[in-house]
Amino acid sequence: MSELTTVARPYAKAAFDFAVENGAIENWHSMIAFAAAVAKDSAMATFLSSAETLDKKTEVFINVCGEQLDEKGQNFVRLMAENSRLNALPAVLALFGELRAEHEKEVTVDVTSAVALSQQQQDNLAKTLEQRFSRKVKLNCTVDEAIVSGLYIKAGDTVIDGTVRGKLERLAHALQS
């Protein structure tokens, strides 16, 4: 996957810069998301790896995307097709999303708790995390009863483990040392 990320990075950056210049970040995100979904389809992946000509592959891909791609989006797909990079579209989408979140000063935070959090608890947590990260926070909450109690919070490389299970594991490690 890291190879695809390396390949996708310049395409994502170019698309994002173009979208920012034209005030069309949401539109470009939608176009790339749709094209990535088409590229991930197993039938399309098989077709793209077939012996068909590059022009035929590009034409079919753009026709499948239909009205979801405007003229600039079609040109973007053509450029990726010319370089045999259509399989990198899902990675382009992921990188584009990261660039967008950075641009909009937003961070997605994964929160795992032993019980479902109420809306008020989620609002309070989001407000606290916004102050800590100095960014707009979008929570992605899940429930895992195995953590017993507390919260496990992950935002990018930052991990806050306030769970009973985590505390017990740290205590066990400290006792073994």
For 45-103, the pLDDT digits (tens) are: 888 887 778 888 888 888 888 888 889 988 998 988 888 888 889 999 999 988 988 88
User: 127: pLDDT confidence band, cut at 50, 70 and 90?
Assistant: very high
pLDDT confidence of residue 111: 92
For residues 95 and 9, is the Cβ–Cβ distance under 8 A? yes
- Considering the chain, what percentage of its residues have pLDDT values greater than 70? 99
The pLDDT confidence band at residue 2, using thresholds 50, 70 and 90, is low
Instruction: Determine the 3-state secondary structure of 154 from DSSP.
Output: strand
Alpha-carbon span 37 to 49, nearest angstrom: 16
* pTM exceeds 0.85: no
DSSP state, residue 121: H
Domains and CATH numbers, the chain: 2-101 (1.10.520.20), 106-176 (3.40.30)
pLDDT tens digits for range 144-175: 888 888 899 998 788 888 888 888 888 999 99
- Beta pairing class for 136-143 and 151-155: unpaired
- Contact in structure between 110 and 155 (CB atoms under 8 Å): yes
- State whether the Cα torsion 124-129-132-138 is positive or negative: negative
- Rounded distance between C-alpha atoms, residue 11 and residue 14, angstroms: 5
Average pLDDT, the chain: 87
The structure tokens listed for 55 are 């022009």
Distance separating alpha carbons of residues 80 and 12, to the nearest angstrom: 11
* Number of residues in the chain: 177
